Amino acid sequence: MAILKIARMGHPVLRSPAQPVKDPTATEIRRLVQDMAETMYEAPGIGLAATQVDVHEQLIVIDTSEARDQLRVLINPEIIWASEERQVYEEGCLSVPGIYDGVERPSRVRVRALDVEGNPYEFDADGLLAVCVQHEIDHLNGILFVDKMGRIRKEFFKNCLY
Ligand code: K1U
Ligand code: ZN
């Protein structure tokens, strides 16, 4: 296993959209999942998207458990339903260290993805898990949470962000 380098905001790789994983059971994907999990736990973080480690495939790892023992692997994830109800949650990002701010997103989502065996599965998420899944899927689309801040907040963080 290996600790991967996490790209920081300003690096163009963070803006590159990810392509679907063609063979979820390929050896390179299994190795990437292991390396991303190790990188996320070591950071430490509660999620990591392949985009952040300069791999442009639709792959996410998440662990929002307190014990840090419930790894979720999401290959080719899609949000198939989002609640109209929205919540503001304080977010951080391993690619934007030191900046935390409230972001408004749907409170609950239903997610479809493939597991490491290539089998489709679905789950409902709320609270921190819902926030984290949406944050990570944004990464796969080249979107950072700071893009969702208002102009005044961006101005406030200007010296830290650029
Ligand atoms: O995608 C990332 O950059 C990881 C990011 C995920 C995230 C955090 C908070 C709200 C939405 C998405 C992080 O993990 S930042 C670090 C963090 O929040 C954390 C780290 C250790 C324990 C608990 C939280
Ligand atoms: Zn992030």
Mean pLDDT of 10-32: 97
The percent of residues above 90 in pLDDT, for the chain, comes to 91
pLDDT digits (tens, 9 = 90+) for 93-127: 999 999 999 999 999 999 999 999 999 999 999 99
Confidence of residue 155 (pLDDT cuts 50, 70, 90): confident
User: Contact 93/134 with Cβ under 8 angstroms?
Assistant: no
Confidence of residue 162 (pLDDT cuts 50, 70, 90): low
Residue ranges around ligand 1 (CB below 6 Å): 44-49, 91-95, 131-132, 135-136, 139
Measured between alpha carbons, how far is 84 from 70 in angstroms, rounded to an integer?
28
- Whether 66 is a known active-site residue: answer no
Catalytic residue selected from 28, 85, 117, 136: 136
pLDDT, residue 161, reads 67
- Choosing from 39, 48, 93, 149 the residue with most ligand 1 atoms within 8 A of its CB, the one to mutate for a pocket test is 93
Residue 81 has pLDDT above 60, yes or no: yes
